[in-house]
Amino acid sequence: MISEDNLMKELISLDWDFSDSKTESLHSIHPYPAKFIPEIPRCLIQNLPIPSNTIILDPFCGSGVTLVESQRAGIESIGIDLNPIATLLSTVKTQELSPQFLEIALKVFSKCATYKKGVIIPPIPNLDHWFKKSVQEGITILLTEINKIKDERIANALRFCVSSIIVRVSNQESDTRYAAVENHLERNDVFSLFKLSAEKLWNAKMHNQLEVPSRIINKDSLQLTKADIGKKVGLVITSPPYPNAYEYWLYHKYRMWWLGFDPLEVKESEIGARAHYFKKNHQTADDFIIQMEKLLRSLASLCAKGAFVCFVIGQSKIHGEIIENEKIIANAALKGGLTHIATIKRMIRSGRKSFNLSHARIKEEFIVILQKQ
């Protein structure tokens, strides 16, 4: 058996930049800026020993990258996320897709294309600024037809497809730039893009139907309990939100509103949201330290002896000051009952990150490896 020192030497010697990585269909069927590349969790799962009869946990599961890679490795997993769009994505990606999905999706498309009834647009704030009237009608008709479907698994997969096109059909410039631009799409374009998204999901899932269990929980990770998990955790792999880097709630705001969720509730509890750091009585790096200490204590209590806890994190810039988040995690681990094993720096290929922010340092990030002794 390889010693722990040699294991860490081998891990550190690996090429973590993954400069030749390619986007895979299942990981790319729904826009999700700032997600980490699948090679990172895949490499950690392949190289770190996982205690028997344990699960893999991602307390900030986002679009489900760690969960899908856990399934591919044949290991049960649990994902937690505060953002309901994240939990929808992770659920659809890790659940088996019904054999009737595409047939039903095409029926929804046909019904929408010939829809003649009146349309009552939901009362969503500032909707006319971000969506043309004809596009509002198209989205409303789609969701009206989807909400008639009794099979919740199929309905959620269809909602996934609607969510995937929301920014594309809106006046928002892109998933990474919150600015309004002119949009030439019309009602029928919404239906066509929905159909295309459903076909992409079908094709991606047909090559990734994995029966390994994965459970998704919509919850604030800082409020996690043993009852939520139910089993001992053998490996944690996550990329937490961190100060002033990316506002998930903001860029998924209209996805949430259209699907019946409240983005302002998510904003209030989202770790690292830029608004928390640029308001009167704003948060500081000390608030992030307190949050991470609480999280790491919780993770330590959930982990089996010998389990590794891996954080993928970048640095922040708050009011001109560089915040070394990788050191915050390493120091917080000690107070949480975990041992800091190694910190690995990786360079991010130009254009690899799904966003580009002048107030965040995103040319490099760190893989912080901790362990419960």
pLDDT value at residue 274: 52
CA–CA–CA angle 313, 314, 316 (5° rounding)? 130
pLDDT value at residue 211: 86
> Residue 252 — φ and ψ, nearest 5°?
-110, 10
More confident: 131 or 209: 131
- Averaged pLDDT, 207-220: 91
Set out the domains of the chain in order of their start, with CATH numbers.
Answer: 4-83+213-246+263-371 (3.40.50.150), 101-206 (no CATH)
Question: In this model, does residue 179 exceed pLDDT 50?
Answer: yes
- Averaged pLDDT, 180-206: 95
- Averaged pLDDT, 149-178: 92
More confident: 138 or 14: 138
The H-or-E segment that residue 42 falls in is helix 39-47
> Residue 79 — φ and ψ, nearest 5°?
-120, 140
Residues 104, 107: Cα–Cα separation, whole Å? 5
Residues 222, 224: Cα–Cα separation, whole Å? 6
Question: In this model, does residue 125 exceed pLDDT 70?
Answer: yes
Question: In this model, does residue 177 exceed pLDDT 80?
Answer: no
Q: Of the given ranges (4-8, 36-40, 197-201, 287-291), which has the lowest mean pLDDT? A: 4-8
Residues 176, 307: Cα–Cα separation, whole Å? 35
Strand-strand pairing, 177-180 and 303-318? unpaired
Contacts (Cβ under 8 Å, ≥6 apart) of 324: 315
Q: For 242-274, how does the pLDDT look when each residue is reduced to its tens digit (9 = 90+)?
A: 886 667 778 899 999 999 999 999 988 888 655
pLDDT value at residue 36: 84
- Dig out the tokens for 262 from the structure: 């409240």
β strands within 240-338, DSSP E: 303-318, 321-323
Q: Which residue in this structure is represented by tokens 């120091």?
A: 331
Q: For 301-343, how does the pLDDT look when each residue is reduced to its tens digit (9 = 90+)?
A: 999 999 999 999 999 887 788 889 999 999 999 998 999 999 9
CA–CA–CA angle 358, 255, 104 (5° rounding)? 140
> What pTM, to 2 d.p., does this model score?
0.91
Q: How confident is the model at residue 47 (pLDDT cuts 50, 70, 90)?
A: very high
Q: How confident is the model at residue 360 (pLDDT cuts 50, 70, 90)?
A: very low
Question: In this model, does residue 25 exceed pLDDT 80?
Answer: no
Give the Å distances, CA to CA, from 258 to 63, 106, 170, 189, 350: 18, 21, 12, 17, 33
pLDDT value at residue 284: 75
More confident: 104 or 116: 104
In sign, the C-alpha dihedral spanning 92, 237, 313, 84 is: positive
Give the Å distances, CA to CA, from 47 to 4, 50, 324, 370: 12, 9, 26, 14
- Dig out the tokens for 47 from the structure: 């190289």
Query: For the chain, how many residues are written?
Result: 373
Average pLDDT score over the chain: 90
Q: Are 149 and 104 in contact (CB under 8 A)?
A: yes
Q: What percent of the chain has pLDDT above 70? A: 91
